[in-house]
Amino acid sequence: MTRRHFLTLTACSILISRCTSQSLPAHPIITVKGPIDPSKLGTTLSHEHIMVDFAAVDLASPYRYNAADVFNRVLPFLREIKQSGCDAFFDFTPDYLGRDPGILRRLSDATGLHIITNTGYYGAREDVHLPPHVMTDSVDQLAGRWIMEFEEGIGDTGIRPGFIKIGTDPGSLSEVDAKLVRAAARAHLATGLTIAVHTGPAEGAFEQMAILGEEGVDLSAWIWVHAQGERETQRHVEAAQRGAWVAFDGIKPLQEEMYLELLANMKENGLLNRVLISQDAGWYTVGEENGGGFRGYRYLLDTFVPALQSIGFTEDEIKMLLERNPAAAFAVRIRAGG
């Protein structure tokens, strides 16, 4: 039996035992309050942030912020989007960059929003947010840390991650970034968690796809985060044709035209069913007065969706982008292939 088959069987038996004991959906979305059926996810912002701490990894600590202050600062912005019809919110802040699942759960309780957190490490920003054990761990040891969070919860919170978020620097993948991708691939095969990779331009994205292929992961388990960082739109088409999720996730007022064009291109190519949209907005910045300037989350639903309608996007296409695609992308399911 190969290692991959062993991991796959292990994950299946974990999922099956959980499903039978708690009658959970076979391929759930895992929120900070527990698993839900993907059909219950609703209108989704698939890449936003509650809090970010840009302190280097040796300084990162929950003692650097007051959880009640963060909660009070962010709550009104989440209430606004709930009012605008948002049901679900993916928090893309990884460990060692300000991830705090307890705050997310309290915000979910207070707003009724489904909130989803993640496991994985952020290798962008030239590795300043990577803990030292990344350099000494084997790929399997690294994957094992993330698998353990999936199986046992994050720290002592009992909160499980709903996806894997890693980050890589632009250009050809560094050795350590390639290691993160390989570990994420193995953690996927053990857990079924979708892999979202902060990437940007196509060069790193296509190298990641090659590694996933080597590891036997189908590209439908992988999200090209910040794909808008690649201006050669044919590359988006190629990735989507290979089954990847292409995320245009920095939508903001001053770049509305660019995002409309990116989406129109995917629509013309018949690939809207591989696209995720979001804003990368927020957030409470640790270390700044009252969390610093906050970019609220309302723009996409209140303004950008009407702009999409004005260029001919139908209700059904918008539902695909905001409901069906996130539900399909993040449903926890092992996608072997490659």
Residues at the site binding Zn ion, with contacts judged by CB under 5 A: 92, 280
CB of 91 to Zn ion, least distance (A): 9
Q: How many CB atoms lie within 10 A of CB 31?
A: 24
- Smaller CB separation from Zn ion, 28 or 98: 98
CB of 282 to Zn ion, least distance (A): 8
CA distance 261 to 273: 16
* DSSP secondary structure letter of residue 72: H
Contacts of residue 131, defined as CB under 8 A and 6 or more positions apart, other chains included, come to 57, 96, 121
CA distance 223 to 229: 14
Query: The tokens of 53 are what?
Result: 């701490």
CA distance 64 to 79: 26
Using CA atoms of 30, 43, 52, 101 in order, give the dihedral in degrees to the nearest 10: -30
- Smaller CB separation from Zn ion, 11 or 184: 184
Check: CB of residue 203 under 8 Å from CB of residue 171.
yes
Is the alpha carbon torsion for 127, 131, 133, 139 positive or negative?
negative
CB of 3 to Zn ion, least distance (A): 32
CB of 256 to Zn ion, least distance (A): 19
Q: Which of 88, 95, 98, 71 is nearest to 33 (CA)?
A: 88
- Please state the φ and ψ torsions of residue 119, each to the nearest 5 degrees: -120, 165
CB of 278 to Zn ion, least distance (A): 9
Using DSSP bridges, classify how beta strands 34-36 and 29-31 pair: parallel, antiparallel or unpaired: antiparallel
CB of 287 to Zn ion, least distance (A): 18
- Smaller CB separation from Zn ion, 35 or 94: 94
The radius of gyration of the chain's CA atoms, rounded to the nearest angstrom, is: 19
CA distance 28 to 32: 12
- Smaller CB separation from Zn ion, 88 or 139: 88
CB of 148 to Zn ion, least distance (A): 24
- Smaller CB separation from Zn ion, 177 or 280: 280
CA distance 243 to 165: 19
- Smaller CB separation from Zn ion, 92 or 96: 92
- Smaller CB separation from Zn ion, 89 or 92: 92
CA distance 29 to 326: 10
CB of 260 to Zn ion, least distance (A): 21
- Smaller CB separation from Zn ion, 197 or 202: 197
CA distance 94 to 100: 9
- Smaller CB separation from Zn ion, 65 or 92: 92
CB of 99 to Zn ion, least distance (A): 12
Tokens 């199986």, located at residue = 151
